[in-house]
Amino acid sequence: MWKYIGTKECNEFLLSLDLFNCKDKKKYIKTLYSISNNIEKNYNIYKIRKRNGKYRTIHEPSSLLKHIQKQILTNILNNKSISKYAKAYHKGLSLKDNAIPHINKKIILKLDIVDFFENIFFVDIYNSCFSIEYFPKSVGMLLTYLCTYDEHLTQGSPTSAYISNLVMKEFDEILGNWCEEKNISYTRYSDDMTFSGNFNPSEIIIKVRKMLYKLGLELNDKKIHVVHKSASQNVTGIIVNEKAQVSSKYRKAIRQEVYYIKKFGLNSHMEKKKINIDKLKYLNILYGKILYVLQINENDNEFNEYKKFLENLINYY
């Protein structure tokens, strides 16, 4: 379709994408190519500490590049379908959607992909998202450059997450269908894969390892977890032994905070616990935690009462 398209037509196509607000057509085209040719200069790179003490590298795009990426996400990528087994980074999906398929199962197997975004590279991104099937080649290449750093996905770009789902779509479908044939539930939440049912974990691990290898990805052997029904089965932070529920530890902490507020009053409670933030900010944080519990289990009578209590307190302040 795009075989004989020229530079003029490609530029017109780029203009139609409306990636940022610029009335000067020449400046619009020049800016896009300037950013893509100097992509490293359009990122602020820094590290944040993870819970395990290690560091995660964040590539934060410049304000203009971030805006362009958001437009690419909204106007192009979101129009492409992802696999039903992918449960992250899509409007309407939540952690609960990732947990529900694994409720009340005999065995849960959790697997993790090593350096997920950093190992999704230019050619796979181009083929999955911006190929000549949908875009003139020069346009597709430009869009791919605008969504990558050093020719791979980054943590920090608005487009990275959805692109990862598109790159993994065929993987998810093949693995998901294979699992369904064996009566195994499978979901993937970013780099976290979860399997549940009654099965031999080794068979799945071998299968997944081979499939990932073909994509240039590999399993994180340190994060292979098999959890039986007799233990607490946690899927992306949600307990699924009998029903979807936030962990008892998380719920207990909220319960204690509400109890102390009721017993001692908000001011005394905050003083005793040395909570040195604005009262309304503290209440809203606590309210958000309660809403999270109810998002996972909306019929929790205890936390619905806490919700009403906090709403009255917030309105008072």
- For the segment 109-140, what is each residue's pLDDT rounded down to a tens digit? 999 999 999 999 999 999 999 999 999 999 99
Query: What is the predicted pLDDT for the residue at 5?
Result: 78
Sign of CA dihedral 235, 240, 241, 247: positive
Query: What is the predicted pLDDT for the residue at 2?
Result: 61
Query: What is the predicted pLDDT for the residue at 172?
Result: 98
Report pLDDT digits (tens) over 69-106: 999 999 999 999 999 999 998 888 888 999 999 999 99
Phi and psi (nearest 5°) for 189? -115, 95
Is the pLDDT at 317 greater than 80, yes or no?
no
Confidence band for 4, pLDDT divided at 50, 70 and 90 = low
Report pLDDT digits (tens) over 190-202: 999 999 999 999 9
Report pLDDT digits (tens) over 219-230: 999 999 999 999
Query: What is the predicted pLDDT for the residue at 1?
Result: 62
Is the pLDDT at 39 greater than 90, yes or no?
yes
Return the higher-pLDDT residue of 7 and 31: 31
Confidence band for 188, pLDDT divided at 50, 70 and 90 = very high
Tell me the mean pLDDT in the region 270-283. 90
Bridge partners, residue 245, by sequence: 239
Cβ neighbour number for residue 300 with a 10 Å cutoff: 17
Confidence band for 50, pLDDT divided at 50, 70 and 90 = confident
Among candidates 155, 159, 158, which has minimal Cα distance to 191? 155
